[in-house]
Each structure stands twice: as C-alpha cells, then as structure tokens.
Chains A and B, each alone.
Chain A
Amino acid sequence: MNLYKSRFLLLLLLATTALSACKKQWDDRTAIADQQLDKNLMQKIQENSNLSIFAGYLTKIGYDKVLSASKTYTVWAPDNQALQGIDATIVADTAKLRLFVSNHISNQAYLTANANPSLRVRTFTGKRITFTPTTVEDATITTANQYVNNGVLHIINKTLAPKLNIYEYIQSLTTVGALHKAYLQRQDSTFVDSSKATVASVDPATGKNVLVPGTGIVTRNKYFTNVANLASEDSLYTYFVLTDDAYNAERNKVSRFFITSSVDTTMNMLAAFNVLKDVAVKGVIPQANLGGTILSVKGIQVPVNPAAIVQTYNASNGIVYVVNSMNFKLEEKIPPIIIQGETPTGFLTTTNRANIQYRTKRDNNGVLYSDIQLSGANLPASYYARYRLSNLYTCQYTVAWRAINDFAYATATNLSQRLGFSQIGYFFVPATGSVYSAQVQFPYTTVTPQNFTEVTLTSATTNASFIPIATPTINATAGTLNVTKYASVNMYLQGSTGTALNTNVFTLDYVKLIPIY
C-alpha cells in the first residue's frame, strides 16, 4: 500500500519537474520577438517628434482611438514641416480637419512592396490615392514601411489634401464651361427606388406596398450611365471640358443632322450629346503626352490640341483639361450607318420560312461574312425583307449595298433586286397588282455573280402615300435617299416580280448609308 503511494508521489514529482522546466519555453512560443510589434500606430506616431502636429490633429478629431484599435491600417503621415503651410481654416474647423486627416489613412496594411508599379488605395474619405514604391500622390515617402501591430506607417513630405473629383470640379467652375456644366447637370434624373423607400402600408386590393411620398428618391445622372461616371472614385478618366465657344462651334457643326420639330431637342439634347459623348477618355493622360488623337470611351478619335488647353486640374479620379477648341471630324461624329442583311425585322409574309436562308461564308479574300438569301420554291413575287432603322441622321445619303450572288442552281446567273425606304405611317396602294413599292424607291438593280464589292445605288424616286402625309420626312433627292427629320424608317429589300423557281432570288450582306456631309 505504502509502496504504491510513494510510487505515485514520485511520478507526480517527476511530472511537475518536467512541466516547470518547460515553462519558460512554453511561454516563449507566443512572445513577440520583434519589438516593433509591441506598439500600435498611434504610439508609433506619437513617439516620433517630427509627427507631433499630425498626432495632435489625430487626437483632436478622435482618431487616436481609431489608430489604437486592433484593425489594420496604413497611415501616410506628413511630417511637421509639411503641415506648416496648411490653411488655418482647416485646422479651425473640426469637420474640415477630419476630412483632411482621413485622406491620409486607409484600411489594410499597404507596404511599398505591394505597390508594384502602383496602387490606387481607397482612404477613409472614400477617395483613392495613387501609391507607388517611392511616392504617394505628389508627396515623396521619406521613411517607408514602419510596421507596428495594427498596420503600417509611411512618413511623407507633403500633405494629401483631398482633391475634387471630375464632376465636383466641373460643378465648381465659375468662369469657363458654363454650357458644358449646365448640360451635365441637366442629365440628373430622379426615380423612386422602392427598396429604399419607407413603406406606409400595403394596399389591400393589389397587395402592393404604399410608399411614404418623398422617400426612396434616388438621383441618377444619365450621362454617367451612358458615357462615363465622372463622380465615381473608382475609375480614372481624362476629361475635356469645352468652353462655351468651343461647345457652340461643335454643336452647330452637327446640329443639322438632328433636325426635329423642336429646336430644344435638337440643340440641347441630341446635338449636345453627340458632341459631349466623346470628351471622356479612359485613364490619366498627362499634358506632356497629349497631342494627335486619342480614343474616347465611345471609340471616336478625339483631336487634342495642347495649345487649346486653358485650364488643367488633377482630380481625385483623373485629370480635367478645359479647352477652347476641339475640332471633331464630321466623319467620326456622323459615321455611316450599316444595316446587316441577316438582321431583318420582318418579311412580306410569315409563312415563307422555308425560303429564308441565313448563311455564313467566306468571301474571295477568305474573310467571313454573314448574309441572308431568299430563294426556293413558292417564293412569292416581289417578296421583301423589312428592316427597321432607328433614328437616321437628317441628311442626304449615298446608299450602297454588298449583295453576294453565289446562287448557282445550274449556272451562275444575275439576280435582280431593289431597295426602298418608307417612313412609319406610309401606305402604298398600287394601281394594279399588289406589288409593294416604297416611299423612296430605288429601281431594280442587277446583282452579278461573285461580286464581292460594294455597289452604290442610284436613281431613286419618291412615291406619294395613299393616305397623304402632311409633310413627308423622307424623299428622293438627286436620285438618292434624303431624310429631313430625325426619326425611324423602314427599309425594304425586295426580290424580282417573277414567280418562277430560281428567278426571284435575292440576297444581302449589308446596306451602308453614307451621310453626304
């Protein structure tokens, strides 16, 4: 009995000895070897006498607690010398000071090694700053990568005052670009987002929510949606603001292609958009690199003359140049309209599907093209395919087609087909028979076999509508299509009047409407 007891005690003793011997090593496993990691960011800033002003600001706005917290941050702290020159009004106003200081701090730890070649880091203001291995914005990093237990500190030699973004800058313009600014502001529209609105009750009849009026209203700028979001901090643009003279000159150049019944619609909506859709370019292009042409976000060549720049601003999301001229080419702004043969919107009948062939082929140069061909038994005489053309520019057009005749039942033969245009609301009632004839009708034209080139159509004539149209908006002028009002029209591709098999075949790769400038 005693023997057992003593053995047990001995074992206990041994175990205790072993454990106590291990104690120090065991504790060491979590000990911090790097003394840097004993501190937090706030302590690190405070212990540097050259950052005393910045530390004071942090304390003033209560960020000392933020930077002592256990999340991870990066601070770009301007030294005392850099902060000497800042505006006294900023320091006096806590709200302004908070905004100013917030632009020097971001979530997460960013070391200079991460910025390869550069990073756009979002700061507490929501704006982004450009961080490279040696600089941040305009400031040079004098002491980099001071890591502590909740982040990284970089010491810089200039302040990072928050910049305006492109849209904020345009709104702040007072002396130039008034018309351009007014256009952008006009594009604001509001709508009710029911998910953000307050629900007052539920309509018992429909089961739908009844919203409290005036809640859930969201503003959206159509220009931002359709062209470039100038208020977003997440994309970089080079943006050209036109002075009023430049804007008027460009608008007057294109306005004759957008004739409507309202001058306001033509000038302030259609022509204005046509000019201003191409003043945004992706990325930041420094002034030194400007010259020649660059591609707008809409894919148009932007002619940039550095001599025309009257004002420059480095915005938080790009760069703004105010220019007093921007000589766009009409050919770029009012490009030819191409209608693909294989995209008709309708046919004379809906029962002739068996006669319609959609095809992909190689042309004589081995380039792929897609087209449509109508052929086969029971294809009615003067059959047509219809194409709805949206919003043709108001001008005279050179009309050309590429129709590839590779139809060879026995031997290659010529095809005969014609093209016509009718405005919506045009009715044709023929004198005899039932052959449709369009308002602006080109005559039957021969399509020779294996001709892969564009053929220009001529000798169009105007038909009057059976139900008279007060002021027709399209007509045949000088034997070609002339559009007098910015509106949609129908185009008709029509086969020959024959009904015999293989005599009324017709085909189309594309039609090109080239504005006559």
Chain B
Amino acid sequence: MKRFSLTLIKKAVLLLCLLVPFSCKNMLDIAPEAQVDITNHYRNVYDANAAVIGIYGQLMGIADRYMVLNELRADLMSPTNNADQYLREISTHTVSANNPWADPKPFYKIILNCNDALKNFDIMLKDAKFRRDEYNQRYADVAAVRAWLYLQLGIHWGSVPYVTDALETVEDLKDESKFPRIPFNDMLDKLIATLANGYLDVYTTSASTTGSTSTSLNTTVDGYPTNLFFINKRCLLGDLYLWRGKYSDAATQYRYVSETGYRTDPGAVNAFWQYKVTYSNFSINYSRPGDETSLIDDNTTVTGWRSIFGAQPGTDINSEWIWTLPFDKNFQPVNPFIDLFSNQGGRYLLTASKLALDNWNSQTQSNGFPYDARGRLTVKTIGGQPVIAKQLYYYLNGTTLVPTNVLQKQGRWLLYRSATLNLHFAEAACRDNYVDVAYALTNAGVLQVFSGIFPTVAAISTGRNVPADATNIMITNRPAPYDLDARYGDVPTYRGPWHRQIGTRSRANLPNLPISYINGGPGLGGDVTTMENAIIDEDGLELAYEGQRWGDLLRIALRRNDASFVATKVYQKLLRDGNPQAGAALNKLSSLDGLYLPFKL
C-alpha cells in the first residue's frame, strides 16, 4: 500500500516537471507591464530626450571618480586619516589590481549607452520619427559626452579601446582582438573628427521653453534650467585640439565661446562679461579696502569670488558657469562630494594638500596681504580641520559653515566655467607664440596690456592717460583668433567686446606676473615655457578641486615629452605631507608610461 502510493506521487512529480517548461513558455513572453520593452525605447522625440537626459544622469554617477582621479592623483589633494587604502594608493600612485577607483568600466558603461542612443537616433531618423534638426542636436550632445568620456579615459589610462558599436555589456569589450587599445593621439583625432563635423550650437536661457507639448531639451526641470546641464561642445572641441597640439584651432573655439554674449546681443546686460574673466563680478573683493576681515565671503554677493560656488542660477552666474550639473535632495544620484569632503555629515576622506596651501600662501595680493584669498575661500578651516569647501557651499550654512540639514546633500558639479575657458585660451595662445596675448588673458586684460603705456595703469575715464582716440590702442592687432578688441573710447563712444576682461590674476586681486615674461611689453615675444608654467600655476590657484588638475599637468608633460613636470609636483605634495612614499612616486612617475593607471576591464 505504502509502496504503491509513493510511486504514484513520484510519477506525479515527474509529470509536473516535464510539463513546467512548456506551460511556462508562453508566460514568459507576456510583455512586462511596469517596464518599457527595449523595442519601444525610441519611438519619438520625447524618447530621444529621455535618452539624452538619462545619459547625463548616469554621468553624474561618476562625479566622485572624476574628482578622485583628476585631483587626488595630482598635487593639490591629499587623503585624510579617514581615507582607506584605495584612496591612499591613488594619491601615492601605487594602485593595486583591485582598486575600485582605477576601474575604467564605469566610463565604458556610459559610453556603451551613448553608442546605443546614437545607433537608435540613426534608426529614428531613417524611420522619420523626428526631424533632422532635432536629430542633429541630440546626436551632437550624446557624441560630445562620449568624446568627453573618452578624453577622461585617455587622460588616466593612456591607450584604451575606442568603441562606437552599441555593445550589450562591458564584458564584450574584453576581446582585445576586436577592440584593440589605440594610442591617445589617434583617439583624439577620431574624437575631433566626430565632433568638429557635427552640430556645435549651445543652448541659451533665452531660448528655453517649457510646457507639455515642448519638444525642446532646453527647459526648466525641478527648478533647474537645463541649458547648463549640457556639455559645451566648442569648449570640449577646443580642449581636444589643445590636447592634440592644434593650438590655433583650439583658440578659435575658445575665442568663439568667450564672445558668446557679445555675439548674441551686443546690447545685452552681460554682453561684455559673459564667459570672460572680467572686473564686473566674482572677484576677490574687500568691502572695506585694506581691511583683511572684510573679505567678501558669502554665497550670494556676485561681486565676490566665492559666489561662483554658492550662487543660485541667474544672469550673473550664468556668465561664469558653462557646464554644471546639480545635485538635489529631491532626486538621485546623491551628491558624492559631501561624503568625500565634509567633516560634518560626510566621511571627510579628502582634503587640501600642504603643497596646495603653500601655493596660495606664497602669493601676495595687490594690497600686500601675504596670501591668495582664493585659498581661504576654497579651503575652509571647519572644526580645526582643513575642509575643501568649493563643493560644500550649497550644503553648509553660508555664515556658520554648519550643514543646514545633514540629510539634504545639496550641491553642484561644476565642470567648466569662464576661468577654465580663459586659462585654456591663454595656454593655446602661449603655445602659438602669442605670449603677450596669453599674458593679457592671464593677468591684467587686453585693454591694459595693449594700452600703449603698459605697465603704467591706463585710466580710461576719469584722468584718462591714454589718447582719447582709441582706434589703435587696446587692441591686439594679431591674426585671428587672437584679434581681441578691448577698445574703450568716448569720442566717439566705442566699447570693444573685451574691454571688461581683466584675467584671472587681476580678478583674484593678485599683481601682474613679471613683465619680463613678455620681454618688457607687448609685441616683444617672451619665453613660452616660462609663461606656460605660470599659466599652469594659475590653473592650480583658480581651479583647484574642480577636476582639472591632473589633466593640466599631464597635458604639459605630454607636450614637453617630460614626465618630470608631473612627477616633481606629485613628489612635492607627498614630501610636504610627510608621506614616506614620495621618493617612490617620483621614481614611478618619471617616465611617461608611469603616469597612467593600469588598464584592466
């Protein structure tokens, strides 16, 4: 009896097992209700918009990586005692095989998504699912993000596989026979080719549209104007040229962007200062001249330099910001900078290196104060610890520097701004042998340097000490793109587009670099290497902790075929921090090959 029933059950189970695969087959084919099937991803322009925004969303997920790789590898940032061994390895250039920061996969993951979007944009265009102008704009955006990602890969890993196919997963990339690693310069050529022939226009606030029927990407989302989300393709193209050593091409792009405001509307309120470093705003400023304690140190006063990192979007700040993505308490991803930098509500893993502080403190301001005040605004002493504050001004109370709410990690990822553009422009001009133009861009402005009486300060209104007729002064008179016009004349009234430009050093209340850099005046030549070194130093003072530093150092090292340019700076950082691995790092970085992270997919 028992034996029989047991067999029966066994048979029943066996039968069921056989049936299950068949019965399930149809069940699995039912379309999911909560998710969009892959075949329905790209149906119209709204889907294309969602793809573009989605890619930028993913890009924000690597903000911490961008910061760690570009700053911690370089000379201005150091790990704190709280940092784990992986961050320490990045800082000392002793990266172990399983170091998560040295993993290129997160970059490729976004690249593959870009590839997929581009492939589908092509299909959509073929199927007439959106207009060609809509296609151009979106295609250019995604292609530019991809180029930016490849540039980052090239900066940190040297030669990497260049893939434009829409692969399913990063794993597929591992086949080196199909996707060989190509040299950095070859990749730059490909990126330039892709970008330069495409659509280079930018989004402006004035063209922003909202409403449910609007198909524009240029709109307002969650209170944030989206025009700042998108990478500035001309700035990127300029950077690619700069990396590739095509300085005139780079300068052409930079100059074009610098004159955006004036070109769009010469009568507009910010025509003269948009995307230029001018005396109008964002300077190191004292409300009581000569009183150290009166440094303008708040988020809202746009005349003060700190507001670059704490202001809310508006006409003034949009003249400085070129590419920035917001982190908000209301949407993902969470701001990673709080965790990296803040000692309140964060883990405080990274801080300023002693070298960075020494760099600021070795400057003397025009009023004699023996330090660069940008250092005081970039790194704040909070609770007795030096805290990188540039990324924390939206999170901390502007006065007390205590978090308004430790759970609301407001912030902003500022990738590109006027000062970045200005200094890159100067670097291109310098390498193109227009050292005086580079000097003007970095220091005192075109108007002063080309006033005819430099280094005497030219007074242009009250007590005018230059000819009333400004036809032939205050203008560079150089071939394009270096023909910068800063003329300021009152009879007849004339204002050149560059007349308010003063350079990052003047804006930071620092005196001019020695006039010997340009052999005593404009048009007399000057030593390219000396000027270039000064520009890179200025990059460090102005753009510290904005993700530019490693790239700036590496670009010079590659250009001069001299790895020691990077090695000595990293060595100084480790040495002044008292890190015993300083000597080993100097050794490792003394060859160009040693400058790259190990590439492992």
- Using a CB–CB cutoff of 8 Å, the interface residues on chain A facing chain B are 353-354, 356-362, 368, 373, 375-376, 406
Report yes or no: B364 in contact with A375, Cβ–Cβ below 8 A.
no
B291 contacts A360, CB within 8 Å? no
Do A361 and B290 have beta carbons less than 8 Å apart?
no
Report if B292 contacts A (CB, 8 A): yes
Nearest CB of B to A436, in Å = 24
Q: Is the CB of B370 within 8 A of A406?
A: no
* A360 cross-chain contacts in B, Cβ below 8 A: 292, 369-371
Instruction: Report chain A residues within 8 Å CB of B289.
Output: 357, 376
- Residues from chain B with a CB closer than 8 A to the CB of A354 are 288
Give complex CA distance A354, B292 in Å. Answer: 12
What separation, in Å, do the CA atoms of A356 and B289 have in the docked complex? 10
Q: Tell me the smallest distance from the CB of B86 to a CB of chain A, in Å.
A: 33
Q: Which 5 A-B pairs have the closest CB atoms?
A: A357-B291, A357-B290, A362-B370, A361-B368, A358-B293
B370 A373 Cβ-Cβ under 8 A: no
Query: A353, A358, A375, A406: which contacts B292 (Cβ < 8 A)?
Result: A358
**B292, B364, B370, B371: which contacts A357 (Cβ < 8 A)?**
B292
Q: How large is the interface on B (under 10, 10 to 19, 20 to 34, 35 or more residues)?
A: 10 to 19
Chain A nearest CB, measured from B1 CB (Å): 11
Between-chain CB contacts (< 8 Å), 7 pairs = A358-B293, A359-B369, A360-B370, A361-B369, A362-B370, A368-B370, A376-B288
B284-303 interface bits toward A, Cβ cutoff 8 Å, 1 = contact, 0 = none: 00001111110000000000
Pick from B288, B291, B293, B370: contact of A361, CB under 8 Å: B370
A359 engages B291 (CB within 8 Å): yes
Which A residues are in CB contact (< 8 Å) with B369?
Answer: 359-361
Bound complex: CA A358 to CA B292 (Å): 5
Residues of B within 8 Å of A361, CB to CB, are: 368-370
Contacts of B291 in A (CB 8 A): 356-359
Cα separation A100 to B293 with both chains bound (whole Å)? 63
Give the residues in chain B near A368, CB-CB below 8 Å: 370
Query: Who on chain A is nearest to B2 by CB?
Result: A1
Distance in angstroms between the alpha carbons of A349 and B368 in the assembled complex: 28
8 A Cβ contacts from B243-290 to A: 288-290
Across the interface, name the chain A residue whose C-beta is closest to B369. A360
How far, in whole Å, are A375 and B288 apart by their CA atoms in the complex?
11
The interface residues of chain B lying within 8 Å CB-to-CB of A375 are 290
* 13 more A-B residue pairs beyond the given contacts A373-B290, A375-B290, A376-B288, with a C-beta to C-beta distance below 8 A: A354-B288, A357-B290, A357-B291, A357-B292, A358-B292, A359-B291, A359-B292, A359-B369, A360-B370, A362-B364, A362-B368, A368-B370, A376-B289
User: Which chain B residue shows the least CB distance to A375?
Assistant: B290
Task: Across the interface, name the chain B residue whose C-beta is closest to A373.
Answer: B290
Provide the bound-state CA to CA distance between A128 and B422, in Å: 67
A360 to B369, CA, bound (A): 6
Docked complex Cα distance between A375 and B370 (Å): 20
Residue of A with least CB distance to B368: A361
In the bound complex, CA of A373 to CA of B369 (Å): 13
Q: In the assembly, what is the distance between CA of A64 and CA of B292, in Å?
A: 71
Q: Which of A353, A359, A362 contacts B290 (CB 8 A)?
A: A359
Q: Mark B411-449, 1 if CB is under 8 A from A, else 0.
A: 000000000000000000000000000000000000000
Q: Across the interface, which residues of A come within 8 angstroms of B368, CB to CB?
A: 359, 361-362, 406
- Could you say which of A357, A362, A406 has the most chain B C-beta atoms within 10 Å of its C-beta? A357
Closest-CB distance, A410 to chain B (whole angstroms): 12
Cα distance A359–B270 in the bound complex, in angstroms? 34
Alpha-carbon distance A217/B289, docked complex (angstroms): 56
- With both beta carbons as reference points, the residue of chain B lying nearest to A1 in the complex is identified as B2
CA distance A406 to B370 in the complex (A): 14
Q: For A359, give the chain B residue with the smallest CB separation.
A: B292
Q: What CA separation (Å) do A308 and B288 show in the bound complex?
A: 61
A359 to B288, CA, bound (A): 11
